[in-house]
Homo-oligomer: A and B are copies of this chain.
């Protein structure tokens, strides 16, 4: 049997994973990884934590858990894989089945024959096409050299501007918040759209992230167009359509684009998102060329549509499937459900599945609910708050998406929702899942179960939830309605909604005092998290009030 020659272009995540898996499946294959950078198999997702100082040495990002550097020697000795760093693949000859590469240091050109080729060329940060973006002090964050440069530049700086409130921009803000625990740092975050994480979250959840940013002392400026960056020899300020912001350091995090140049030059098909098109075996339009990681698009298992969602976890999953297949196996990658998560100071925030807007665009009729509550038994000392938003399809009751944020364990609820989305659960089925319960971990009915049940109540027409956003809109329109606060006197002392149309009747008195409320107006009830708000709605329903709803998530979700 002849030795199979496997060539892999790209040495960060999907590439090395594919190589390692291929080696495990085929001990005789000849495996070569080409990487244009200096470092291979580094933890790109850890870069913000290096900038923030939570990780002391960049070396830690290049090491295995026991501290062995994953360098060329490591791959050769441990995995019998040849790695060529600082070597850029420049052309693919699909007829001859060769890759031409240039050694960046020597300029030498090499030609590698392949039986199967893997493209794991990754992505590159989107560059702003604006005056001043090339000034010293302006950075994007892609690789270890960027992180080293930003960390170094930070040392002498007090005014930092981050452009873009997507995942990367907010991860940089998280790093800056960590730095700011030890010294002064003015952090401004600019976003073109109306709220942070505008692609990942619905507006009401994004507004809660904005509230957190404000409380954390970040100068978050939404709906801003950056016009130019200015400075004498070095960036000194960012000019938007509304203001000038002093900045000695600017980090641009306005998204990434797939690196498709090599694939396009070789005539491989791109998909509707502009990333490399692959089938479920992760084969490109040339069956001997596979592709994975940030350079390809994925099938979204909820919408069935192609999406571009580059993530390190997906890249690793791709790598394993590709490694199997190039070594003669037949594994498949069914797709993603769009899960993403982020730590932002003490806030955990993420989503899985579709947002309301995405669900609508995908042809669903989304119904959503917002729930607030503790992440574990409220009497347990480590109990922390969470806000959960669930989205389901009205007719089929199928779960379409979940968004979770708060100081509590958001990741757990997202992961359960991701499994439920993968399984195609209805919210009814989700509510039955036998989740692990003890007071240090959850409430007897976990907040995710509770959210699913509330959404079932809403789908059944029993709970008439009104989102805090809708309440705001009604207020802005000057509508005449009653906001009924049903909290205890003690809670009222601690916080209250200072609005003229608020009426207060504690829940325990509502049955006897319902007569005090007008029968000709809409009533929207609320409490701290609106469990009692819902109860109040039901009480008033039973008392014959015709138009009662409750504000979802209560004060916990109010911004």
Contacts and interface: CB of A to CB of B under 8 A. Distances in A.
A339 B381 contact: no
Nearest to A340: B436
Interface residues of A, number: 105
Contacts of A487: 66
Question: Which of A13, A317, A415 has most B Cβ within 10 Å?
Answer: A415
Nearest to A445: B316
A303 interface: no
A164 interface: no
A217 interface: no
A186 interface: no
A67 interface: yes
A102 B80 CA distance: 79
Interface in A50-102: 54-55, 60-61, 63, 65-68, 73-74, 77-80
A508 interface: yes
A422 B418 CA distance: 14
A23 B537 CA distance: 13
A78 B527 CA distance: 14
A333 B449 CA distance: 14
Contact of A77 (B25, B28, B380, B508): B508
Interface in A395-445: 409, 411-412, 414-416, 418-420, 422-423, 425, 429, 431-442, 444-445
Interface stretch (A138-146, A249-257, A307-315): A307-315
Contact of A341 (B317, B350, B436, B444): B436
Contacts of A440: 49, 343, 348
A340 to B, nearest CB: 7
A311 B437 contact: yes
A419 B439 contact: no
B541 A377 contact: no
A540 to B, nearest CB: 10
A94 to B, nearest CB: 30
A436 B339 contact: yes
A520 to B, nearest CB: 21
A453 B320 contact: yes
Contact of A49 (B380, B446, B488, B528): B380
A373 interface: yes
Contacts of A74: 508
Interface in A312-371: 312-317, 320, 333-334, 336-343, 348, 350, 352
A28 B542 contact: yes
A211 interface: no
Interface string A9-26: 000010000000001110
Nearest to A333: B432
B429 A415 contact: no
Nearest to A435: B415
Given A320-B453, A333-B432, A338-B434, A49 B312 contact: no
A179 B398 CA distance: 47
Interface in A483-535: 487-488, 490-491, 507-509, 511-512, 527-529, 532, 535
A378 interface: yes
A538 interface: yes
A441 B404 CA distance: 14
Nearest to A55: B379
Nearest to A314: B434
Contacts of A509: 77
A434 B337 contact: yes
B373 A65 contact: yes
A199 interface: no
Given A65-B374, A78-B508, A78-B535, A411 B442 contact: yes
Closest 9 CB pairs of A and B: A27-B542, A423-B423, A313-B437, A419-B419, A341-B436, A65-B378, A77-B508, A412-B412, A411-B441
12 contacts: A49-B380, A65-B373, A65-B529, A78-B532, A312-B437, A320-B453, A411-B442, A415-B433, A422-B432, A422-B433, A422-B434, A423-B425
